[in-house]
Each structure stands twice: as structure tokens, then as C-alpha cells.
């Protein structure tokens, strides 16, 4: 008889054999996430939960899991989980940092370049049969090399984006937590948020979603940006107010935006944002390289198994549970 019961909320690109040696594992087989009520029901009888950012793991659910020993999230961000509630129950929460840093920075860079040089519009125009000849003034975009980049949040992914920007000889500003060591090694300059908005040609968001960053990009922020600026968001959708973004893009307060994350997700097909030519939207695929997703799955299983065995999680977001 297995010692533990585990619920995994989606099929993963991972070998579950080692986990199955110590636990009875149930994997949710559908493409859509398990409904909240079903997750609640499952949580009543499990020792370990492996969840995704699409699962709402709130206080009620955590308190329902009376035998729950570990929550392991397949993502670096964990704003879908009530960490305080888990900590109150001394349940460690695992996540998957580092392995997705470069993949996500690459994708932010891909979006920045695609928006600056109007790659998606070019593809649409070509498919619509509108490529008639070489023209001096068609689809003119923004210059990337030598421009000023504003990074909101210089964590692991923000730093990886800064390293890419160096290759493009950009002036790099950042806001968030100040780090003098990084200012020297990455040649980045700390500035207040308003100054970053005023001076940046490109603004890229790499901050977690918190009460402070919720709708950080609203009417006020857009009004302070350059009219030629391009916004890139690969962090969390709710950092940008979608109605304010629509106003900014239609009024010309900023030139363009590229979003890999939206509020809500998925973006409703009827969203007025999807009618805009100067917006690129992708379906939250920042970390979606094959290797990265495999490493994330391995890491999430390692966190889960450590938690079941009563060992310290290799990557724990609430280490205070061990005090």
C-alpha cells in the first residue's frame, strides 16, 4: 500500500515512476483545469498537491486539506496560492525558479523585437495579399539598438533581460528593489518608477503580482510614458489594467504593447484589445520551451516528494515553515 495520496492537476512532461513508488498518484486528465469544487473535494483526502497557476489554492481549500503536507506549484510565480494560509498550517509551498529564467527572458525579448519591428503585422499583411512591392514607408517600426529600456522588477528574469539588452547597446533603467551589486555588474541604473516611465523607449515588466503591483500600469502610468513607447508584459496580466491599456493604445499615449499574460486569462475573444493592430497577444507561453517545461516538471515533482517525506523542499517559497 502506498504511503501517500497525491493529486496532480494536469498531465506533465515527466516520469512519475519515482513518485508512484511512494504515493498513489491521480492525474487530472483534461485540458481545462479541474473545477474549484472538484479540487476542494480531492484536497480533503490528499497528502500532496501538485498544481498550476490556473488553480485557485485559497485559504478555504488549504484548510480543507487536513492531511495536506506539501503544495508544489509548476511555475515560478505563486499568486494563485494563499501562502499565508499555507504557512499558518506549516505546509511548505514549492515552486520552479531558475530553470525558466532564460526561456522567459528570451520570450520577453522576442515580444519586444516583434512589437518594435511589427513582425506580426507584417505577417498579417503578407497573408492578406497586401505585399505589393518594396516600399520606403511600409511598416516602419522603432529602433532597438541604442534605445532606453525600462525594467520593472530586476529579479532573476529582469536581470536576464538586462543581459540581452546589453548586446543591443541599450541604456538600461530599472525600478523595484535596489541592488547596488547588480548596478555595477549589469550596468543598470536605478530610477524612480515615474522617471522610468518618462525616459524609456521600451518598458518590460518582470515583477510578481502583489497588492502593490496590481494595475500598476493604469491611466496614470500610461500618461507618463513616451508616446513612442512599447510595453511588454511577460509577468502577470493583472499588473496591467486592460481598459487603461486599450485607452492608451487607441489614444496614442503609447505606440504599442506585447502581452504574454492578460487579465483575465485567457483574454476573452470579444475583448476590444484584440481589435488593435498595435497589440500582440500570446497565450502565456513565456517558459514554453520543451526543455524548460521538462525541467519545471522534474523540479515540481522533487519539491512534492521532499514535502511528502518530511524533507526541506529544494525550492520553497515559505521557508519560515521550517523555523
Question: Of these residues, 26, 41, 194, 265, which one is catalytic?
Answer: 265
What is the smallest separation between the CB atom of 315 and ligand GLV, expressed in angstroms?
12
From the list 74-82, 179-187, 238-246, 265-273, the region that binds ligand GLV by CB under 6 A is 74-82
Count other C-beta atoms under 10 Å from residue 277's C-beta. Answer: 12
What is the smallest separation between the CB atom of 287 and ligand GLV, expressed in angstroms?
5
Q: Give the chain's length.
A: 323
- The size of the interface with ligand GLV (CB under 6 A), counted in residues, is 7
SS3 246: helix
Query: CB under 8 Å to 226, separation ≥6 — which residues?
Result: 198, 199, 200, 201, 254
**Residue 75 binding ligand GLV, by CB under 6 A:** yes
Alpha-carbon gap, residue 135 to 121, rounded angstroms: 15
Alpha-carbon gap, residue 224 to 237, rounded angstroms: 20
What is the smallest separation between the CB atom of 28 and ligand GLV, expressed in angstroms?
19
Q: What are phi and psi of 73, to 5 degrees?
A: -100, 135
What is the smallest separation between the CB atom of 174 and ligand GLV, expressed in angstroms?
20
Question: Of these residues, 236, 263, 293, 315, which one is catalytic?
Answer: 236
284 is catalytic: yes
Chain positions 31 to 60 lying near ligand GLV, rule: CB under 6 A, are 53
From the list 13-21, 63-71, 75-83, 166-174, the region that binds ligand GLV by CB under 6 A is 75-83
Of residues 25, 100, 221, 231, which one binds ligand GLV by CB under 6 A? 100
**Residue 76 binding ligand GLV, by CB under 6 A:** yes
Q: Report the candidate in 49, 153, 147 with the shortest Cα–Cα distance to residue 101.
A: 153
236 is catalytic: yes
DSSP 8-state assignment for residue 273: G
| Cα within 13 Å of Cα(214), Cβ side | 5
**Residue 287 binding ligand GLV, by CB under 6 A:** yes
**Residue 208 binding ligand GLV, by CB under 6 A:** no
Contact 257, 276 (CB under 8 A): no
Q: Report the candidate in 252, 265, 257 with the shortest Cα–Cα distance to residue 230.
A: 257
What is the smallest separation between the CB atom of 93 and ligand GLV, expressed in angstroms?
13
Interface residues toward ligand GLV, by CB under 6 A? 53, 75-77, 100, 286-287
Residues forming the active site: 236, 265, 284
Amino acid at each position: 500500500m502506498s504511503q501517500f495520496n497525491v493529486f496532480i492537476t494536469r498531465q506533465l512532461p515527466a516520469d512519475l515512476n519515482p513518485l508512484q513508488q511512494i504515493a498513489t498518484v491521480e492525474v487530472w486528465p483534461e485540458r481545462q483545469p479541474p473545477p474549484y469544487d472538484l479540487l476542494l473535494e480531492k484536497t480533503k483526502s490528499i497528502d500532496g498537491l501538485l498544481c498550476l497557476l490556473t488553480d485557485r489554492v485559497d485559504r478555504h481549500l488549504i484548510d480543507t486539506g487536513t492531511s495536506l503536507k506539501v503544495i508544489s506549484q509548476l511555475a515560478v510565480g505563486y499568486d494563485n496560492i494563499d501562502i499565508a494560509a499555507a504557512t499558518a498550517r506549516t505546509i511548505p509551498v514549492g515552486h520552479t525558479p531558475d530553470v525558466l529564467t532564460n526561456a522567459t527572458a528570451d520570450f520577453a525579448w522576442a515580444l519586444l523585437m516583434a512589437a518594435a519591428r511589427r513582425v506580426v503585422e507584417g505577417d498579417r499583411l503578407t497573408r492578406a495579399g497586401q505585399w505589393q512591392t518594396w516600399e520606403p514607408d511600409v511598416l516602419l517600426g522603432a529602433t532597438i539598438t541604442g534605445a532606453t529600456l525600462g525594467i520593472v522588477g530586476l529579479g532573476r528574469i529582469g536581470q536576464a533581460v538586462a543581459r540581452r539588452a546589453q548586446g543591443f547597446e541599450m541604456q538600461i533603467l530599472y525600478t523595484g528593489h535596489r541592488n547596488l551589486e547588480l548596478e555595477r555588474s549589469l550596468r543598470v541604473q536605478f530610477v524612480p518608477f515615474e522617471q522610468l516611465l518618462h525616459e524609456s523607449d521600451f518598458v518590460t515588466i518582470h515583477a510578481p503580482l502583489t497588492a502593490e503591483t496590481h494595475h500598476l500600469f493604469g491611466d496614470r502610468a500610461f500618461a507618463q510614458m513616451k508616446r513612442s513607447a512599447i510595453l511588454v508584459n511577460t509577468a502577470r496580466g493583472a499588473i496591467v489594467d486592460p481598459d487603461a491599456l486599450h485607452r492608451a493604445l487607441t489614444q496614442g499615449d503609447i505606440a504599442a504593447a506585447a502581452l504574454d499574460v492578460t487579465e483575465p486569462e485567457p483574454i476573452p475573444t470579444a475583448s476590444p484589445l484584440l481589435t488593435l493592430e498595435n497589440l500582440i497577444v500570446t497565450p502565456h507561453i513565456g517558459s514554453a520551451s520543451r526543455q524548460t517545461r521538462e525541467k519545471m516538471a522534474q523540479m515540481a515533482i522533487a519539491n512534492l516528494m521532499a514535502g511528502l517525506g518530511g524533507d526541506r523542499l529544494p525550492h520553497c517559497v515559505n521557508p519560515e515553515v521550517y523555523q
